[in-house]
Amino acid sequence: MTDRKHTTQDQKRAKAAKAAEALAAEPAPAASEATEAEIAEAAAQAIADELAAVSRERDDYLDHLRRLKAEFDNYRKRVQRDNEELRLRAAETVVESLLPVMDNMSRALEAADKHGEGQLMDGFGVVSGQLRGTLAGHGLEEIDVVPGTSFDPEYHEAIMTQASPEHDEGTVVQVLERGYLLHGKLLRPAKVIVAS
């Protein structure tokens, strides 16, 4: 479409130039002043037409650019709004799945008031298992590390080193904090003490 506009404008310029040349080439000894005025008028008209065409083209491009900018702004806002809704829905799902764990925790505390310490420990064991199962259902996976395991900097964070006659150098002596993967991606490394 732009090439067609340029071609049309080029044709108009060429016609105006030919008209100006034709007027200039006509012999008119008595009317040379009139001919120069006609040439000037034709040239002025050609320039005015070209200016009007260029102005229309500029306005078309400007309008198109404004529409594209508005469409892009709307798209960006829509994507931002969709991402926020997705984040909220994901959090809602996790929190909703943890509600039964909270209920069981409350029941265990109530049972501790009425019964002995052994039942409290049993209750918390059940709640802990339920919580682990719920989080595993959301893609949480514990990093398997026990004393004697080789230190792996990709999954373990060495908090300190310690001399240990029971363990080889570069192996885990003690796990201070468990590490976890979420959907196969490292969420938190296991914090460990390493034999030196």
Q: What is the pLDDT of residues 134-186, one digit of tens each?
A: 888 888 888 899 888 899 999 999 999 988 888 888 899 999 988 888 888 88
Residue 17: per-residue pLDDT:
63
Cα of first residue to Cα of last residue in the chain, in angstroms, is: 75
Residue 167: per-residue pLDDT:
86
- DSSP-derived secondary structure letter, 146: -
Tell me how far apart the alpha carbons of residues 170 and 30 are, in angstroms, rounded to a whole number. Answer: 111
Tell me the three state secondary structure of residue 156.
Answer: strand
**The token pair that represents 166 in the structure block:** 């029971």
Overall size of the chain counted in residues: 196
Q: Which residues of the chain have pLDDT under 70?
A: 1-9, 12-17, 19-34, 113, 116-118
Residue 9: per-residue pLDDT:
64
Residue 36: per-residue pLDDT:
83
